[in-house]
Amino acid sequence: MIELKLGDAHLGLLPALGGSVAFWRAKGRDLLVPVADPNLAAQRNTPVAGYPLVPYSNRIGDGRFTFEGVDYALTPNFGGENHAVHGNAWEREWTVAQSAEERAIIFLDHDPQKGDDPAQWPFAYRAVMSFVLHPDGLTVEMLIANRDSRSQPVGMGFHPFFARSDDMTLAFATRAMWESGPDNLPSVERPCDGALNFASPRAVQETRLDNCFAGWTGEARLDYPSAGYAVEIEADPVFQHLVVFTSPEKPFVALEPVTNMNNAVNHPDLPENGLHILNPGASVSGRIRYRLVESRG
């Protein structure tokens, strides 16, 4: 484990376990909570507090897609589903490029021509993540570079598990939400009005969501009134979508800034699917900033 410390702020990283975050604590609070998901077999049932979504976010339906006239098949990697889920970076060991008291940089090279499994992803890429710890926050920067001789479709995102409380509220503004069908793939785009409108803070309580929101403004806020603090999220415009998961039975709320909609590679007909087509040598990057706010002054 790599540990970053700055005053009473403390971040743990697990590069060997898919570039995951082990914990994030500040001012005596566990801001991110470790969660073990048995469906993510490569995490070996180890609790993690966050992990990268590279080289795409969420699902590719049945692990199949066509790109530039070529059909590709990926190995399903999520328990109980036939889909390929969250890319393959969370399944791989990352390399530490730099580690200092307040900052760490890790990277992953995937190259089928050098023995990496093409059924995880058929194109060569390099992913880089940097973590910068602040007294009142955390900055995560992500980059994907195409190291293949062909163009490739990519997306990225970050999947944190925020601590849940009985009185917490959630606020974010988006244009629409993708309703999922029985296969957990997007089926219908709904406008964000009524029960789907989170532009003003709303109590989480019994809310159940496991959806991708489109047209995200890049800002979100989680308030913990009884604990006297809030977490503000600000992401670069490349993160056009926000995946939100909340369930009363779970001890966490997941707010995932992501570039692409779920199953984006199979929706080339949608101009705002968030997929990036990288030519050889090209890259895409973006930053996500998390800030702890003391609501009691």
3-class DSSP string for 159-196 = EEEEECCCCCEEEECCCEEEEECCCCCEEEEEECCHHH
pTM of the model: 0.95
Spell out the per-residue pLDDT of the chain, length 297, in tens.
999 999 999 999 999 999 999 999 998 899 999 999 888 878 888 999 999 999 999 999 999 999 999 999 999 998 888 999 999 999 999 999 999 999 999 999 999 999 999 999 999 999 999 999 999 999 999 999 999 999 999 999 999 999 999 899 999 999 999 999 999 999 999 999 988 999 999 999 889 999 999 999 999 999 999 999 999 999 999 999 999 999 999 999 999 999 999 999 999 999 999 999 999 999 999 999 999 999 875
Report the SS3 class of residue 158: strand
* Range of the structural domain that residue 79 is part of: 2-294
Per-residue tokens: 233? 């999220």
The predicted pLDDT at position 80 comes to 85
Q: What letter would DSSP give residue 258?
A: E
Distance CA 163, CA 175 (A): 26
Distances, alpha carbon 166 to alpha carbons 23, 208, 249, in Å = 21, 14, 11
Q: Which of 135, 142, 75 is nearest to 108 (CA)?
A: 142
Alpha carbons 292 and 224: distance in angstroms, whole number: 11
Q: What CATH number is attached to the domain comprising 63?
A: 2.70.98.10
**Contacts from 37-40 at CB under 8 Å and sequence distance 24+?**
38/79, 39/78, 39/79, 39/80, 39/81, 40/77, 40/78, 40/79, 40/86, 40/90
Question: How confident is the model at residue 43, as a pLDDT?
Answer: 84
Provide the phi-psi class of 82: left if phi over 0, else alpha when psi is between -120 and 50, else beta.
Answer: alpha
Number of domains in the chain: 1
pLDDT at 42: 81
- What is the rounded CA–CA span in Å between residue 235 and residue 288? 4
Distance CA 148, CA 280 (A): 6
The reported pLDDT for the residue numbered 297 is 57
